[in-house]
């Protein structure tokens, strides 16, 4: 085991700065649910959660919707246990979204490269509509131009964990958003 990985194992997450509290998250997810329900009124929505990070956000968001929805997942990865994106996106799914109203649910938009890749892939299936809902969007210069219709919170360029977001598969269970940097 390297010194870097053993150092990460001893991080006291409770001593880290809370960027967004669990109450703030709950309130904003309720607002997003109302907005999305109004925008898709009278239509069935297909929520596509991006694993692993978006699973908690997607579950809470789905419970706030007042419209019929179906839930499915795809897996995308570009971090490979690092704090910065590798720039190479690995994508796995077996979705059929032809002529469906699709909302991709993502935990965080930082460089935008992963979402750009996901959108290009899903667009090939000819959905009726294809939009993005992200819990967090980082303010990063030169971000890939990805149209995110619904954003929970805009944040500075910080490395964050909690509420599904992780570092090396740790801290997803933390009920708020905390900063590791």
Q: How much is the CA Rg of the chain, to the nearest whole Å? A: 16
Of 12, 23, 96, 110, the catalytic one is 110
Integer Cα distance of 57 and 43 in angstroms: 22
What phi, psi does 72 have (nearest 5°)? -145, 175
107 is catalytic: no
Integer Cα distance of 19 and 154 in angstroms: 11
- State the DSSP code for 22: H
Integer Cα distance of 94 and 147 in angstroms: 24
Catalytic positions, written as ranges: 110
């Amino acid at each position: 085991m390297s010194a870097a990985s053993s150092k990460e194992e001893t991080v006291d997450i409770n001593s880290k700065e809370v960027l967004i509290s669990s109450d703030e998250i709950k309130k904003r997810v309720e607002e997003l649910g109302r907005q999305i329900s109004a925008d898709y009124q009278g239509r069935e929505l297909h929520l596509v959660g991006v694993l692993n990070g978006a699973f908690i956000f997607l579950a809470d968001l789905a419970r706030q919707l007042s419209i019929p929805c179906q839930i499915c997942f795809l897996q995308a990865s570009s971090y490979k246990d690092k704090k910065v994106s590798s720039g190479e996106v690995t994508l796995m799914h077996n979705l059929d979204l032809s002529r469906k109203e699709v909302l991709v649910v993502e935990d965080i938009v930082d460089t935008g490269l992963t979402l750009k890749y996901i959108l290009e892939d899903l667009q090939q299936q000819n959905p009726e509509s294809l939009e993005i809902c992200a819990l967090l969007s980082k303010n990063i210069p030169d971000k890939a131009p990805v149209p995110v219709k619904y954003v929970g919170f805009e944040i500075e360029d910080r490395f964050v964990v909690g509420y599904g977001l992780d570092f090396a598969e740790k801290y997803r269970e933390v009920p708020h958003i905390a900063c590791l940097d």
